[in-house]
Structures are given as C-alpha cells and as structure tokens.
Structure 1
C-alpha cells in the first residue's frame, strides 16, 4: 500500500475500489460527511447529479456510489467502479465537509482506497487543516491506460457550497434533500471473494480508535484494522514483504482477511492471529544473515507436521502455502539463530504466474490459465541441492491437502532446465525447495 503525502500520486488498480473517508475519535470532535464529485474533461461537473452524497447516493452512470457509514459514524464509504468510469468521468474528487466546527478540529481526516479483496491500495491523511470547513482530499484520474490517485489536500473556508460552486454546481443545503436509502450492504464475510491485482503493504498501524478491515465482499463496507505486527521476545521492526500486483482471472481459494505480521529472533512458537478465518493461508518469511533455519507447522497434538521452510540461503525471503488444522489458527515452530519475520496473508496475495516470473528461494504462486507447459530454469546458490515443486488443482476444494497434487519439478544438482505439463488453472504452485534463483515461463500448447 502507498501512504502518500500531499501533492503526491500513485497508480491504483483499475477495479471497483471502495474508498473510506475516516477520522480518529475524540470527545467533542466534529464529524465529516463524505462526498464524491464527478468531473468532465474541462474540470467541471455537468450537473447537480455529479455530486454523490448521502441524499443522492448513486451517480446516474452507476459507477460512483455513497455506501453510508454502516454502524461507525467515524467512517463513511464510497465506491468507484473504475472500469465503468472511463466514459462517465475524467476525474472523481473525494471530498469531506464538517457537520460543525472546522476540518482543523477533526482528528486525522483520512482517505483510503481498498481493492475488492480488502487489501489497502493507497492512503492520504490531512495534516495541515486549520479553519476550513470542506476539503478536497484526493482525486482519481486516468493516466497511461490505467488510473492514478493524487493527494490534493485543498481546503475551503466556504464549506461544501463554496467547493461545489468552484466546480460548477450548487449543492443542496443540509436537510433540504430527502435522503435516499443507501444500498443495503452485504454482510461482511470472511469467505473467499474474487481477487484483483493490488499493491500490498503491511503499512503503519492506524491511528487509535479507528478500525479498518481487509475482509470484503463487493459493495459491502470493508471492515476494520490495517495489517498489524505482533512482536515476540527479541523482536525488531520489520517491513511486510512486498509482492508485485497480480492480475488475470479471479482467485477464490482460501479466506480473505487482513494480513498480520509476527517478528522475532531465535527459536519460537508462533500462533497466527485468531481472527483469521479457517482455511489455507500464505505465509511469507524474511530472515536476516545466513546459516540454517527451518519452520514446521504444528498438528492437533502440537507436534511437527508440515515442513514449511528449510533453508540455508543468506538473507532469506520466501513464501509457502499452509493448511491449518481444522478450525484452529495456524501454529508454526521457527528454529533459527537470527532475526526473522512471518507475515500471514490470503493466498490471493501470492504472485501470479502468467507468462514469465523470476525469483529466489521457495515461493507459493498462483496459476489461472489454460493447460500449458511450464519451463523452469534454476541455479543453486548453496553448493549443490535440489529443487522441488508441486501443483495443486484447488477448484472445488477447501484445503490444499484435498486438492489433486502433481509433481512438477524434482531435480538435484547446481543447475537445472526442466519442462513439465501444467494443468488448467486454478493451480496453486508450491516451490518448496529452491536454494537459489529461478526463472519460470509458460508455453502455450
């Protein structure tokens, strides 16, 4: 996720984004109303209907909606269907206005966009508000075949009326427009939803009193907090590993939840956040220095079960797919001598193998294409070892263990060039043993 400063911009995925306008909680602090203002190529609105707010919650194009504030008055939700916006708008402004007082009295007014899988995409927090009563928080606009978000941070002492007038419309006065009933949100579900490519980041823990949620269902207000980090004894701060944005067909295997990170040093037993719904998860690991380390999952008897990581690679960074035991949270036993971090993510956050990928070390990957040949080149970095990859046809299953497994790569030595038949996706690819760098390529058949 990009947490950007005023004036900065960032690409966002061209998907139906849900946008939170949120604030911190403090006794006596005013609340803000969220609005969206749809503009044409001239930078003006074409009419009153281009202002989307509580009383007019749906733009005529259907591509911009005000979803309300659910049960939390400190958070309001907008939805921007970017693929449909192309013909309807040149820019969409995200606006907030106070119900009383000034924006300077509001605790950390923030705009944050979420992808359909609940992952945060971009965030901007106003830090310089004073006497203004309305703010253009940011804008979404097309650029280079995609969409970008710019943190605008422009305030208006004349309130929403003055802001709207600057863009060619006169907003209705408060209380004069009958409030249309907002769409009934779907229940926030921990179950799988289609995944769309996003950039992901553990990001800083949000300001106190404000919750965010990575679990999401289309058109439902996404739930609460950003990725959290839990520290065990001997821990040091560590960044959540980055994975390039995936794309392509939907990936629905595995639950959706907010990523969480555990950091530590040496040998430890780690339990994943108990709020993670049951189902297979992606475990990402980074480890400082060199030397041997390994990670096992623990079974219902609290004994070693699956070998998750087993490596001597220096400055290790890898990922694995792990089945939990029944409804219990994932538990791992880490055996190491240096600092490390573990991040638990939805499997949908794994990288996609679409045409070609390069990497280093073990990694779990997603494939959603047709039948193909998989070509792998591998170079060992530890003096001679073996590489091992399996494919799991996960459609119709709820666990990795239940899916049909194919052995794709199983080679020993320092260098390998291997090709293997790959079934139609969705296939979870698990590169368990990879003590070096590799390149994968898909060849159509």
Structure 2
C-alpha cells in the first residue's frame, strides 16, 4: 500500500480507478457521503452536471460514477463510499477532479479512522492517506486528481469546511438553491382566511321513487388499470453489499418496482462466483450469473419484483462486493461493442443479425432480455441467442432492442451485420 501524507502527491495510471472514502462505524457516528467535482477553466465546474454524488450518480461523459456504500455492518465495522473514475475518458477541458466527503447530522470529529484510498481496476492499491484531526468540519476535500505533464497525479488534501457539501459546492461554482422556509413551531396559529361569500341555496332534486320489492343494482365500475412501468427507467441511489461465502442479500425496498437493475460483482481468488434470484420465500429460483474464473469483475441484470423487495443469493469462496446500480450505468451500443468475460450491454438498434466472436476456453452464452409482455406479471422475456464453447464465431438474429447478457471466460466482440 502506497501511503502518502497530506499535501503529497503521486502519479497515477491514466485508466479506470476506484476511489473510496473509508471510516469506522459506531453509535453516534454520522454517515459519510462521497462526491466528485470536475473542474474546468478557472478551477470551477462548468455546470451542475459536474458534481457527481448519490443524487446524481453519473457524469454525462461516462468518466465518473458514484457506486454507493458498502453494506453497513455491526457498530465498529469498517464502511466506505465508492467512486469509479476512468481517467482516459475525462474530457480535455477538465483539468482537476476534486474528491470530497460530507456528513449530515454531525461533524467529522465524530467520524473515526477517516481515510481516502485509490486502487486500480484489479484492486491493487495506488495511494492511501489518513484524514485524522477533524473537529467541527461537515465537509472535507479528501484529495484531488490533477492533469500534469500529459498524465495524472493524485494529491492528498484533507481540507475541511464547516458549511457542508452545499458550502463546498458553492466554492467551486455550483449554484445551491436556498432551503425552504422553516416550519412554524408549536403554538403557531395561522391567520384565519377571509370568509368566502355564501353561495345561494339551490334546492336538490327529489329522487325518483324506487318501486317496491325491486332491489337496486350496484353501479357498474371498471377495475382499476394496472399501471405500466418502463423497465429501462428508474433512477435510485446505488448500494453496495459485501460478504463472504453464501449469503442472502435483501435489497433496499425503495428500489423501483418493475424495473431492471444492474448488478456488478467483484470477487478475487474464488473457484466460482454466482448470483441467483430468490422467490417470495427466499428460495433461489434461477441463476443471474455463474462465473468460474479466479478473479471475477462481472455484470448482470435483475428485474425488481412489483410486489416485494429484490432478494438475491450470492456465493463465492472468497470475499465479494456486490453493487446494485441503475440501468443507466450499463454500456450501450448500436453497431459495435467489445468486452471481457461477463457483461451486460443495452442494444438500441433495430432487428438484424449480431456477429459474435469469443476467444476463450469455456462456455459462451448470450441472452437477450426484453420487457414483460403482460404488465400483471414480473416474468421478463429471455431468449438464448448464442450457446457455444471455446472459440466462437457466430451470427445471431436479434428481433430488436433489449438487454444483452453476455457470459464467457475471455475477450469477446459483437458487431451489427450491415
């Protein structure tokens, strides 16, 4: 682990990185939220979209994403809030990325073992810095990534603010809306409105008499229509869960029902890593992912049930991290895409033929997911487009837009046949 003191900097590779602000939980310890600000000319943001945090989880360029927190454990256990950055995709006019953290309902003096960590895509440590010594600060600039000499360097900062995330964001050019007026406290009596002019009395018509011994029929009413939801839609705050071995993950009940969510899992030095969907009784009912590589960084998809929280069964021989993300974090393509092993891609193109090439040794499959045809049921439509072993070159007809769930053990390519 490369530990650097505050004020020091270190070169970082211009590639995908994970940045985590970590702390130790406990009774009375406030929750910590991480954010990133992309700064352009004048060391200012270019607009609100340059602030990436839990309520705006992805930058339009695709270079920065907020991944969410690790699952909270027992008091005294470590916790972290994560960002993902791809420095190769940062727009040329952005010269600095500020990594900030904030708390609500407390101060950083109540947060033990605060630090910032930078790792590469394989989990190898790039930089680490402890952020001790805080008192009344409610926001912290933990570090920053800055262009220098054609590359990037990470600098550990540790500068505190007493004005929270809003004050920090304002310093870098974000326009923060003023808070709503306070709600009056106990004893407040609102002024009585002026009485409205009385409306003239209009006699009601007398009801027609009902013939004796003839029961009145109940009024005919149409059943309430079942609202249709677009499974591609629905933003929410990403969440992260950690475990080891076989565990059942009960996701946030606030996940939008009837929508797809992106599942992203990491596990290293495990014989196998699997994710299964569970039924209403918590019983596993179908694999969403089955990976048998030693080191797994994989993506798949799940459909949130309409009437109950999403429940998953995760199993690996080593510690694993599962992230539940909005589908907007998935990659899109309409003509060409490349990937490695297990991934999920949104296909936006028309019906046609997709040409796949897989260079691996084990099974290679491609499933297409399309929305449920009946809005009363959660069952999405799945079609197996490709099922091969090892080196695969195949063309697969595709009926139109949908999700492509791709599973293999090596690099693959896909192109639309013209």
TM-score, length of structure 2 as denominator length: 0.46
Computing the radius of gyration from Cα coordinates, the structure with the larger value is: 2
TM-score, length of structure 1 as denominator length: 0.44
